[in-house]
Amino acid sequence: MTNRTLDIAVTGCAAISAAGVGAAALREAVDAGTPCLTPVPAELLGEPGHYWGKADAFRAADFMPPLKARKFDRSSLLATVTAGLALQDAGATPAALGATRIGIALGCGFGGIANSVEFLSGYFSAGIDGLVPMLFPNTVANAPASNASIEHGLKGPNVTQVQRFCSAETALQMACRFLAEGRADVMLAGGVDELNAPVMQGFHAMGQLRRYAHGFGEGCGILVLERRDHAERRGTAIRGTIDEIRTIGFIPEEHCAAGTDRLLGATAPELLSLSGTAPEWPPVANIFPAVRRLAVGPLVGRSLAMGGLAMVSLLLLLAPGQRGLHLAASPEGPYFGIDFTGGGPV
């Protein structure tokens, strides 16, 4: 499945991750190639030896009054602040562009789980008296995108995708489509995930901490997208372009070659970004062996919506005119191949 000749301009980006707050911190970590993972407190899991990429430098109070921050879950805080930074980077404000013409499409892997566990624990422990109504609204996975839209006044298309390790890529695909169809002039797109005790304990119970031994991560990576003609009319710098998006869902083992072929574009990339389980996906080893590879998972941790951070990283590294291929994979699908071209300096 292909979105041909999209010609979508990236006019801004922002990131919060274990590397720090802001895209520059992520760029620095990627350049250094030094993992930002730290030990998971042993008391959290009942055993030592596991690592995670916690965005410890992020403090919501740096961006909003504490009383306001209290009503958000952590994913919503990460998304709301990152969205604000991305809008600022792109010089795009709803007031100038029209609130109904700006939307958000966000991948969100584990959003809502911490609130769900807290809400249910109250009920299971204390019965109906233990229910805390204010927790319930943030149990939905769309809370981060919705809270970001409420905070910044984004009234265009608003959607959340959860699709395993390709959640952010699925959201990006939707955002590009909405722009191409004229449903919006500017779309924020990317991914957000949070790490918390319930999520880590769930991973631990399911054996996922051993399976994905690089360590799980949290954070938010958002790109600001618009049609090239709109960006040019606005006179804003184009930091890069998204040229084509290819995706497939499930690949039966006997059709692996046919499936893989559908993911690769017509031109060879100069930089290969690997996200989700793409680094461990067997066919990837044989794809473009001489091309430089970028994998942010080992640096800031892996999450279902890590594609947001990976795509921001790719954009940051691409030189003007340089071609990048972002490959993302999940066990049992889906798979994405997204062509980027570098633009002006980010």
Partner 1 sequence: MRNSRIAITGLGIFCAASKDIPTFTDALLTGKSAIGPVDLFDVTPFPSRIGAQVKEYRPDDYFGKKGAARLSRADQFAAIAAGQALAASDVRRHYDMFDIGVAVGAGAAGMIHSEQWLRERLAGKRGHPALLRGILPDRTATALAERFRLCGYQGSVTTACSSSATAIGWGAGLIATGQLKACLCGGTDTLSVLTYAGFNSLRVVDREPCSPFSLGRQGISLGEGAAFLVLEEEAAAVARGATIHGFILGYALDGEAHHMTAPEPTGAEAARVMRDALAAAGLTTDNVGWVNAHGTGTPLNDAIESKAFRQVFGQRAAEVPLVSTKGLTGHCLGAAGAIEITATLLALQAGIIPQTLNFRGTDPECDLDYCHTGPKPSAATVALSNSFAFGGNITSVVISR
The alpha carbon torsion through 260, 304, 108, 198 (nearest 10 deg) reads: 160
Please say which residue, 257 or 285, places its beta carbon nearer to partner 1. 257
Segment interacting with partner 1, rule: CB under 8 A, options 162-170, 274-282, 292-300, 318-326: 162-170
Residues 257-276, interacting with partner 1 (CB under 8 A)? 258-259, 262
Cα–Cα separations (whole angstroms), residue 286 to 146, 265, 289: 41, 15, 6
Please say which residue, 58 or 165, places its beta carbon nearer to partner 1. 165
163 and 173 in contact (C-beta within 8 Å)? Answer: no
Residues 96-155, interacting with partner 1 (CB under 8 A)? 99-100, 103-104, 108-110, 113, 116-117, 119-121, 123-125, 127-128, 131-133, 136-143, 145-147, 149-150, 152-155
In this structure, which long-range contacts are made by residues 54-58, counting pairs with CB atoms below 8 Å and at least 24 apart in sequence? 54/18, 54/195, 54/217, 54/218, 54/301, 55/16, 55/17, 55/18, 55/20, 55/21, 55/218, 55/219, 56/18, 57/20, 57/21, 57/25, 58/16, 58/21, 58/219
309 sits near partner 1 (criterion: CB under 8 A): no
- Considering only CA atoms, give the Rg of the chain: 19
2 sits near partner 1 (criterion: CB under 8 A): yes
CB of 243 to partner 1, least distance (A): 15
Q: Tell me how far apart the 2 most distant CA atoms of the chain are, in Å.
A: 62
Please say which residue, 275 or 313, places its beta carbon nearer to partner 1. 275
Q: Among 1, 24, 61, 268, which residue sits at the site for partner 1 (rule: CB under 8 A)?
A: 1
82 sits near partner 1 (criterion: CB under 8 A): no
Please say which residue, 19 or 169, places its beta carbon nearer to partner 1. 169
Residues 316-335, interacting with partner 1 (CB under 8 A)? 330, 332-334
